[in-house]
Structure 1
């Protein structure tokens, strides 16, 4: 009967593992939280993106296709690539890379410890909000050393994520509408979200909004 079916559905929904209910709660919260300081630096508001994109000359954009390093070393290139990764639900990779670059500039044991803990909590630990795809050995080494981190604690992990982006995402970025519009001097068109790339972590997608921690 209809009543019996509804009863079964209710039981299934109310007995889901706490793990999934916790993830759903994090997802809702993450969509509400915005970090204006970071958006000013790297992931501006949509209007900010449009204003900056109009200043990128086709000649400059063409240089980004010469190497992944040239793309990341240019502010507008980094922003365009970040926007592309968002369409693939894999922006955690570039956010982790940026966090590691900033971490290397830490001064003093206290700042090193605080930043290392923030990176670990956000990107490394199992079920982290922005967990990146790392092999078991690399994660284990970081986990064991996180109580006494050094400026090189995330070198191996950063290198691994860099290679993933260079060999996978970067090649697709160069074929994307985002990049082709830039090198041809066309106005940027709205981008559609696509299914998450299998080359990145297989964990359930956490949230679409960029939410990189503000490093001290």
Structure 2
């Protein structure tokens, strides 16, 4: 008799759980007639779907990071040594540019290299509409006061750019780009050559983890989704 009571109780508990789960996903019979209830049920299903997808998302992120480090370690020590010959040689090599950008991120100054890359791309523009759009976006992102990635420029240089931005020419950022280039060459580049990021590459050691900030938004693809860029890498 006792055994049957226990069994009956367990069945009721199972049934109760099933009903609760059914209500959570589908709602009650009355609620199903309500538009609001159907919307809530759909949202619950969407949340459940997102929870189920999270492990895949983690694997994708992990694979992406692994791919970045794998590409970084393919740089030969001999190639890395050449980067110390001049700042130009460093920037002209894709892996060198990647390593230098990673270093600037540790110093919270990656806006300098992103501005330099944006200017290099801008000078290759041919379409008049591209020139106007890109010039305005560079000015708003890197030059104007309180720009999200404002670079360190003197007031006079900023004023000259501000006056020319309505009818920009391909050389309108030359002075600013030159000043930022000199700043990186004389300051950041010398520290980069002494950094663990660079010395690990020269000595053939696997790159060690670094504390990086979240990457800035891609300048070309976010600011100019409808404009073709000649630069393959925006970091």
TM-score normalised to the size of structure 2? 0.65
| 1:161 equivalent in structure 2 | 180
| 2:78 equivalent in structure 1 | 59
Q: Does 1:69 align with 2:75?
A: no
Q: Does 1:188 align with 2:207?
A: yes
Alignment gaps of 5+ in structure 2: 1-63, 228-235
Deviation digits for residues 4-30 of structure 1, max 9, x if unmatched? xxxxxxxxxxxxxxxxxxxxxxxxxxx
| 2:147 equivalent in structure 1 | 128
| 2:171 equivalent in structure 1 | 152
Distance 1:66 1:183 in 2: 13
SS of the counterpart of 2:116? helix
Distance apart, 1:209 and its partner CA: 2.2
> Which of the numbers 106, 109, 113 marks the counterpart of 1:94?
113
Distance apart, 1:62 and its partner CA: 0.2
Distance apart, 1:167 and its partner CA: 0.2
SS of the counterpart of 1:161? helix
Q: Does 1:84 align with 2:103?
A: yes
| 1:48 equivalent in structure 2 | 67
Distance apart, 1:208 and its partner CA: 4.1
The structure-2 alpha-carbon separation of the partners of 1:131 and 1:212, relative to structure 1 and needing over 3 Å to count, comes to: farther
SS of the counterpart of 1:210? coil
TM-score normalised to the size of structure 1? 0.71
Q: Does 1:142 align with 2:150?
A: no
More helix by share: 2
Alignment gaps of 5+ in structure 1: 1-44, 194-206
SS of the counterpart of 1:90? coil
SS of the counterpart of 1:209? coil
Distance 1:145 1:170 in 2: 31
> Which of the numbers 117, 121, 127 marks the counterpart of 2:136?
117
Distance 1:47 1:123 in 2: 31
Higher RCO (Cα < 8 Å, 6 or more apart)? 1
Q: Does 1:213 align with 2:213?
A: no
Q: Does 1:173 align with 2:179?
A: no
Deviation digits for residues 26-63 of structure 1, max 9, x if unmatched? xxxxxxxxxxxxxxxxxxx5333202112100000000
- Decide which structure has the larger Cα Rg and report it: 2
